[in-house]
Amino acid sequence: MSDTGISSSSFAARGPSLRALAESALLIATIYLIMGAIYVSVQPSALSAYSIESLFNNSLPLMLAAAGATFVILQGGFDLSVAGVISLVNVVVAVTPLEGPLGALGLLAIALLIGMGVGAVNGLIVAGLKIQAIAATLATMIVCQGAALLVLGAPGGYVSDFMAYELTGSVLGVPLALWIALAGVALWSVYRRTDAGRNLLAVGQDRKAAALSGIDVARTEFFSFVWAGAYYALAAYMLAAQTSTGSPNAGEPFLLLTFAAVALGGTAFGGGRGSVTASLFGAATLMLMQKVMFALGVSSFYTGVIQGLIMILAVLFAAGVQLAIRSGKRP
Amino acid sequence: MTQSSETMDGPATTPQDTRRAQRLSSTSVAVIAIYGLVVAMILLSRAVSPAFGGLSQVETIFYLAAFLVFCAFGQGLVILVRGLDLSIASLITLGGVLSTALMAGSNDGLFYILPAILLACALIGVVSGIGVTFFAIPPFIMTMAVGIIVYSLCLGFTQGTPRGFPSPLLRDLMQARLLAIPAPIWLLLAFVAVGTVLQGYSAFGRKLNAVGNNPEAAYVAGLSARTLTISAYAVSAACAGLTGILLAAYANGATLRMGDDYLLPSIAAVVVGGSSILGGRGSFLGTVGGALLLTTLATILSALGIGQGWKTILEGLVILVALIVLREQVFDALQAGLRGLKKG
């Protein structure tokens, strides 16, 4: 029960069941499953191995991007560089011809190096120079977009056959994309129980209190950006594998959708409450929602209306649950 | 956070008034520094090529900056009250799409269609404001959701291809000259004058500043923080709509992605202009300077024939440098140094 740091004890006193609902990914996971059921009922072919594989392949980049952004948001920060890092890593992967499994591994290392490098720069500017995260990461995002254009001026490039086929295929009958997502869930459930994970949430809940209780706030901030960068890089890497090509604008659609996914997962903007697992489900729900609306025959012009409304409702619902926790303490 | 840094970092003996005065003057130092930088860049560009640095280049910069200034004014007001408006791009598109579709290349009804579009945009801003104030939805999420919804409605309304043309009167206005200066630049000057008074000197602006500085204190002082915040979002949305109408008149038609190039620059202009992204500090003249700086840089870089990649990198770096240089602490240090000089 101490995994949320400072106010965990008071939260626990306010009813563990509601608290668990708000803190865990249970809610968004339920929504995802209901939506999946609707999808399958209107489109029975959705259960074919090919459909399932392609659904997870399509969803994975956004899921990873949202997972990364969650690290920064949990400590109360903001990271717009997601769009820039994805564009940059995506084109680097697409123009670096390394064949075979070892080549893919080498490219993954390069990708992570770039992502964590940009994350470290973000961390230094925000935690070291005390510059507002939104403004600082806006600047690094633009720099990365420019760098992506230098690497590849127009959409093009290609990835090795290994990346294009093996990384988008299945292992032991389960799509590799799903394995990666599950690894993300497992990693988070371990991380949130470590000191670093507790500190992340404690800093997000109350910076002053965290600093007073001996947490190195600047260090926590710094590493949240570095982990975020690693996840963005992995997202861009998997995006390149999925599309078999690169684009200097690959990251642009991710800018808003990433934060929409995090919001849908119920993670509080401002920090201190939420989980990476919930964001993974939030992103998956967002992608599944598009498929469901298409299957239901909603004109693709108007899908944005429903997306926007669901985002607002999700935030309101999460706030409502919080309110219920607070008032539920009385009896 | 602005508050906490004030109470935590400030020397305990410094009275609140003095700190406030310091902050105001540090803002004006920032504004002067930005305009100095713009002038220096234009003069320096002359060294690169004799074609630069002339009046015609200055005219081009002002002309292009005007559109950014119009929407950045609203963005600045929203940031002042601790918000952020991500719906600007969609509202620019809405303004453009509605104006070309409704006016359909004629001047008939111009004088009721224009106010109607601005009113519609303002109402959308009110919706964002209500979500942020009464329902406590984070501004980032609320305005992003509203932006996605509005864009989707534009998409549905136009069925993917915007039709119609702006009113000839508006189109001619964008090309007209008055006393040898293009009409849009006059429009820009008038807008800057009104905006500066509104944000910095009117009762409305002072109240917005108060709400941004300390919402609780503003509430105690009898200000309706909610109404003021909602009106900031309404003004922002209306300004974005205006930008869209004028852009469509300038380009003789609307496109669905016409607003995209203005969302992030509008935030960048405000931040480069020395406003705190956390609210409570900022001046419209600073934002105008930020817009001029970004536009000047872009104009010079494209004239130099520098590739899009390097151009984008330099733009990002300029924003970063401006952020680092314009930090409050730097000004406090500068002020302390100046005071030391005076005493010595």
Interface test with B, best of A75, A138, A258 (most B CBs within 10 A): A138
- Looking at beta carbons, which residues of chain B come within 8 Å of A136? 320, 323
Residue B325 touches chain A, beta carbons under 8 Å: no
Q: How many CB atoms lie within 10 A of CB A301?
A: 16
- State the Cα–Cα distance between residues B202 and B265, nearest whole angstrom: 26
Q: Which of B135, B159, B311 sits opposite A146 (nearest CB)?
A: B311
- Give the one of A132, A140, A148 whose C-beta lies nearest to B278's C-beta: A132
The pair of structure tokens assigned to A297 is: 């025959």
Q: Which of B141, B156, B320 sits opposite A269 (nearest CB)?
A: B141
Query: Within a domain: residue B267?
Result: yes
Please tell me which residue of chain B has the smallest CA distance to A139. B316
How far apart (Å, rounded) are the C-alpha atoms in residues B30 and B293?
13
Residue of A203, A290, A305 to mutate, testing the B interface (most B Cβ within 10 Å of its Cβ): A305
Interface check B329 vs A, CB under 8 A: yes
| Nearest CB neighbour to B323, from listed A135, A148, A315 | A135
Compute the half-sphere exposure of residue B236: CA atoms within 13 Å on the CB side of its CA: 36
Question: Which domain, by its residues, includes A292?
Answer: 2-327
Q: Are strands B181-182 and B177-178 parallel, antiparallel or unpaired?
A: antiparallel
Cβ separation B320–A150 shorter than 8 A: no
- The confidence score (pLDDT) of residue B12 equals 42
- Specify whether the CB–CB gap between A114 and A88 falls below 8 A: yes
Residues of A in contact with B145 (CB under 8 A): 260, 307-309, 311-312
Q: Which residues of A touch B75 (CB under 8 A)?
A: none
Contact residues for A324 (Cβ-Cβ < 8 A; gap 6+):
A18
CB contact under 8 A, A304 and B146: no
Whether B344 is covered by a domain: the verdict is no
Find, in chain B, the residue whose alpha carbon is nearest to that of A125.
B324
CA nearest to A129 within chain B: B324
Residue B315: list chain A partners with CB under 8 A: 142, 146
Q: What is the dihedral of CA A53, A58, A59, A62, to 10 degrees?
A: 150
Per-residue pLDDT of chain B (344 residues; tens, 9 = 90+): 334 433 333 344 444 445 555 555 566 777 777 788 888 888 777 777 666 667 777 788 888 899 999 999 999 889 888 888 989 999 999 999 998 888 877 777 788 888 999 999 999 999 999 998 888 888 888 898 899 899 989 988 888 788 877 878 888 888 878 887 888 888 888 888 888 888 888 888 888 887 877 777 777 777 788 888 899 999 999 999 999 999 998 888 888 888 888 888 888 888 887 777 776 677 888 888 889 888 888 888 877 778 888 888 988 888 888 778 766 655 566 566 666 666 55
Instruction: Say how far apart CA B230 and CA A116 lie, in whole Å.
Output: 39
Q: What are the pLDDT digits (tens) for B15-46? A: 444 555 555 556 677 777 778 888 888 877 77
Spell out which residues of chain A touch residue B268, defining contact as CB-CB under 8 Å.
138-139, 142
Residues of chain B contacting residue A260, judged by C-beta atoms under 8 Å apart: 141, 144-145, 148
Q: Give the separation between CA A268 and CA B137, rounded to whole angstroms.
A: 10
**Helix, strand, coil share of chain A (percent; to 5):** 75, 0, 20
Q: What is the predicted pLDDT for the residue at B9? A: 39
Report CB contact under 8 Å: B312, A134: no
Helix (H, G, I), strand (E, B) or coil at B182: strand
Query: Which residues, 6+ apart, have CB-to-CB distance to B255 below 8 Å?
Result: B93, B96, B162
Q: Nearest Cα to A24, choosing from A270, A274, A201?
A: A274
Q: State the sign of the Cα–Cα–Cα–Cα dihedral B91, B237, B266, A132.
A: negative
Window 300-319 of B, Cβ < 8 Å to A: 307-317, 319
Residue with tokens 């642009």: A252
Locate A278 and state its tokens: 């919930």
- Does a structural domain hold residue B136? yes
- The residue of chain A nearest to residue B8, with distances taken between CA atoms, is A208
Contact indicator for B296, B48 with CB cutoff of 8 Å: no
Of A31, A111, A107, A15, the residue nearest A68 (C-alpha): A111
Measured distance CA(B94)–CA(B340) in Å, rounded: 54
- Number of structural domains, chain A? 1
Q: Report ipTM (2 d.p.).
A: 0.78
Q: Give the CATH number for residue A240.
A: 1.10.3470
At which residue do the structure tokens 């009104």 appear?
B194
The CATH number covering residue B134 comes to 1.10.3470
pLDDT at B180: 79
Taking residue B218's Cβ as centre, other Cβ atoms within 10 Å add up to 20
Can you tell me the distance from the alpha carbon of B143 to that of B232, in angstroms, rounded to the nearest whole number?
13
pLDDT value of residue A268: 80
Closest-CA distance, B245 to chain A, in angstroms, reads 22
pTM: predicted TM-score of the whole model, two decimal places: 0.80
A106 contact partners, CB below 8 Å, separation of at least 6: A98
Domain ranges, residue B165: 31-39+52-327
Q: Which of residues 118-147 of B touch A (CB under 8 A)?
A: 131, 135-138, 140-142, 144-147
B12 is a domain residue:
no
Tell me whether residues A311 and B271 touch, CB distance under 8 A: no
Query: Cβ–Cβ of A143/B317 closer than 8 Å?
Result: yes
Residue labelled with tokens 């607002």: A312
Which residue(s) pair with A174 in the sheet? Answer: A171
Angstroms from B282 CA to nearest CA on chain A: 14
**A269/B138 touch (CB, cutoff 8 Å), yes or no:** yes
Number of folded domains that form chain B: 1
B111 Cβ under 8 Å from any chain A Cβ: no
Instruction: Print pLDDT tens along chain A (331 aa).
Output: 334 444 444 444 444 455 555 556 777 888 888 888 888 888 888 778 788 888 888 899 999 999 999 999 999 888 999 999 999 999 999 888 787 788 788 889 999 999 999 999 999 999 888 888 888 898 999 999 999 999 888 888 777 777 777 777 777 877 888 888 888 888 888 888 888 888 888 888 888 888 888 888 888 899 999 999 999 999 999 999 888 888 888 888 888 889 888 888 888 877 788 889 889 998 998 888 888 888 888 777 887 888 888 878 877 877 777 677 667 654 4
